[in-house]
Structure 1
Amino acid sequence: MNDMEKANILHQLKTAFDISPELLETLLKQISNKSIKDNFKRITSGLTIEDNYKHIFSAMPWIKNIGGLHQAQAEKYKKNYQIPDYALLVEDSQKKNFPLLVDVKYVKGDAKSCTIIPKQKHTLRQYATAHRQPLLIAIYWEFIGYWTHTCLSHFGGKKNNKIDWQTAICNDLSHLLSDYTFLINKPFYRKTVFPKPADHSNRNYARHKLYGNFDSIFIGPDIDNLFKEDELFYSMVIDANFNATTVSIEDHENHMCLIEEFSSQPSMIKLSQWLLNLTQFMNIQPSLVVNEMHVLETARKVIVDLIHRLGYSISYNIPPLKNACTDELFELAYKDTTVMRDYRHGKV
């Protein structure tokens, strides 16, 4: 076992158990490579992003399995092959599954491009070819809090090993994994009813800072067409991604009524980005499970239901840079669909 593999195991141990600083230091001393030891915090931040990828994309409806490929690899094999981070099974348009390999990259801070070492690019491609499975590179762009999926052939530059964030977004294939993009092209509304006097007694319950706990919630595409939704999660996913504009505040004898408008301007919102915003809004880890249900999976179901009820459409990005990789993936995912026809129609 090499020192990087030891660092990975230590990261998993630190994630699963409450380890004291003293024990962590003792275990770190068993890593002889000074560079890995001194950069353990930076290395584990990248491993955390890998873990978050699994939790976020496990919540997607077309993902039928996602497993880490963290097997120890003998040094003699690394010359020709690098094992990607994840193996996925993805549901296609025919309700069958196809395999997909994903390697995760983390672009930290304000950096605007992702670079892969040429040898790593070669060995990843060799592994995918040998296993006869398509490969995507998943990149987390920290400066915008955004995930993209692209083919290795989308990387350019002198060594064909670099991609900037604009190119990655233009050629994003995340929708293959049911990471939809929603087109919010008209405002929607929420009416919240609060009992009087304001009830602030339950501090573990979400409430308005002035009007206290809510009595009921109504959401809809216009003020005169609202559907009742008492489940608080619907309001939480809205507040995680939209800013409210107050339309009116009505003071009745037994209750207050707050009417708000959301998203008066057109916008494109990707499902994974919405889920990330929700984790930050709720201050939770992407791995959180409540009552044996993954919180992000519950949130995804709420988001998709909300979008459906509000009448917004889903967009499937057609990459301007088409190649053998995108041809194969679109055929695997969208055979005999309008998405496949759109892809072929736009092909140069």
Structure 2
Amino acid sequence: MTNPIQGVRHVFDIVKAARDNQNPFSDEMIQQLLDATVSDEKIRSRYNNFSKGYSAEELFRRIFSLLPWVRLITPLGQEQYPEVSKQNLQTPDYEITYEVGSQRELKKILVEVKLVDGNKQSFELLKNTYEVLKNYEDSSPHPLVFAVFWRNRLQWTINSIEAFSEKSSCYKISYEQACLNDLSAVFGDYSYVFRKPIYRKSRFSNIKNHRSKYYHNHEKYGQTIYEGISLDGKKYKEIISIETPVIDSAFNFEQINYKKLNSRRIEIVEKVILNDSVYVYKLSSLILGFLMKIYYYNKDDMYYQDNFIVENAFNIVDTVRRTCGGEKFYLLPQNKQEKTRNLMKDQFGNAPHIYKMYNSNELLDGPILCSHEPF
């Protein structure tokens, strides 16, 4: 007889495959599949909760596979035999092979994916859940970390158990502590910092059925026929249609100029609202925001639609970053314990300005950002 949890996973995979093929199942069809596959009624009734967890796992695999230093993400498959093995050993969700220090050197790491849903400001990991994962880690040459998806914030953090506080029955980490001890930089999850003025010039035509290389319209001015970005308000670089959603998902603009070119065309110039501040985005969050803007990521159920654009999302986002004057920084964890220190040394030990800053930030209370380039 199929393990009921494994049965739920099989149902999830079938439902997702049907949706990927643009033939989504109705709720009634999903229930029929559950009735035919999962023997335990209590497990069947929790399908939606299981589905959220599996969706987070799938989303992690997709988003982190786009990061520049990640070479391979391998699902470890959790159909364990003998069945009683789960009482002492639990296979994590993924094994990641990634570049450390250079393209020539690779290492592996174990990743367990967790979801923080709703408005929760912390994540709790039951001690017995961690212990069976730790037993697996102890039997492996590779360290274990937790990928926590803070769903409402559209943000992933990678955290070692060292960043958690130990309670009587669980290990707990707040959103703030998860961010302050985020290890995602070791995978190339850059922090993009935008601190220069950004200007956008757009031209529109109100001619019906006007042929344009841009897909989007302005609700008031008509079809977009040109868009350009400038960092000085004078010299503009034209951007392509697929780059616009990245900009719209990242920045707030205010209109500073309007010009009527002729009876059919107008031009507006907008400037990013900085308010004496800067914009800072992690690469993984900017990719998610971009995919949500083009409706390839559904925030309501964490479903993503795979296609050529998604596979090239990093190149699209990083191109926009350069056009908009974004600088690459790394978010460094505050934690100095052994596992965290080893991961940081592996990745940044040959970049003295980064590793030195990591080792000398004890007195800083907030997030520590280190430039990609030495000063």
1:1-12 correspondence to structure 2 within 5 Å: 1-12=2-13
Q: Distance in 2 between matches of 1:303 and 1:263?
A: 20
Q: Distance in 2 between matches of 1:131 and 1:310?
A: 43
Task: Describe the shift of the 1:246–1:308 C-alpha distance in structure 2 as closer, same or farther (beyond 3 A).
Answer: same
Counterpart secondary structure, 1:213: strand
TM-score, normalisation: structure 2:
0.85
- Is structure 2 residue 56 aligned with structure 1 residue 42? no
Partner of 1:166: 176
Partner of 2:355: 340
Is the Cα–Cα contact under 8 Å of residues 180 and 316 in structure 1 kept in the other structure? Answer: yes
Q: Distance in 1 between matches of 2:305 and 2:273?
A: 29
Residue 312 of structure 1 deviates from its aligned partner by 2.5
Q: 2:290 aligns with which of 249, 267, 278?
A: 278
Is the Cα–Cα contact under 8 Å of residues 175 and 317 in structure 1 kept in the other structure? Answer: yes
Residue 21 of structure 1 deviates from its aligned partner by 4.3
Partner of 1:288: 305
Residue 220 of structure 1 deviates from its aligned partner by 2.0
> Could you list the per-position Cα deviations for residues 165-201 of structure 1 after superposition, in whole angstroms to 9, with x for gaps in the alignment?
1100111111111111111223211111224x44455
Residue 287 of structure 1 deviates from its aligned partner by 4.0
Residue 347 of structure 1 deviates from its aligned partner by 6.1
1:1-348 correspondence to structure 2 within 5 Å: 1-17=2-18, 18=23, 19-29=25-35, 30-74=37-81, 75-95=83-103, 96-159=105-168, 161-195=171-205, 197-199=206-208, 205-229=215-239, 231-253=240-262, 255-264=265-274, 265-285=277-297, 287-290=304-307, 293=308, 295-337=309-351, 338-346=353-361
What runs of 5+ residues in structure 1 fail to find an aligned partner? none
Counterpart secondary structure, 2:107: strand
Q: Distance in 2 between matches of 1:201 and 1:289?
A: 30
Matched to 1:62, the amino acid is: W
Is the Cα–Cα contact under 8 Å of residues 194 and 325 in structure 2 kept in the other structure? Answer: no
Identity among equivalent positions (%) equals 24
Counterpart secondary structure, 2:95: strand
Q: Distance in 2 between matches of 1:20 and 1:185?
A: 47
What runs of 5+ residues in structure 2 fail to find an aligned partner? 298-302, 364-375
Residue 209 of structure 1 deviates from its aligned partner by 1.4
Task: Describe the shift of the 1:2–1:202 C-alpha distance in structure 2 as closer, same or farther (beyond 3 A).
Answer: farther
Q: Distance in 2 between matches of 1:274 and 1:170?
A: 19
Q: Distance in 2 between matches of 1:60 and 1:318?
A: 17
Q: Distance in 2 between matches of 1:80 and 1:287?
A: 34
Q: Distance in 2 between matches of 1:333 and 1:246?
A: 43
**Larger mean Cα displacement after TM superposition, 166-175 or 258-267:** 258-267
Q: Distance in 1 between matches of 2:45 and 2:237?
A: 56
Residue 299 of structure 1 deviates from its aligned partner by 2.7
Task: Describe the shift of the 1:270–1:199 C-alpha distance in structure 2 as closer, same or farther (beyond 3 A).
Answer: farther
Q: Distance in 2 between matches of 1:239 and 1:303?
A: 12
Provide the aligned C-alpha RMSD in A: 2.2
TM-score, normalisation: structure 1:
0.91
> Could you list the per-position Cα deviations for residues 92-145 of structure 1 after superposition, in whole angstroms to 9, with x for gaps in the alignment?
222122111111101111111111110111121221221111211011112322
**Larger mean Cα displacement after TM superposition, 63-72 or 14-23:** 14-23
Count of residue correspondences: 343
Q: Distance in 1 between matches of 2:317 and 2:289?
A: 12
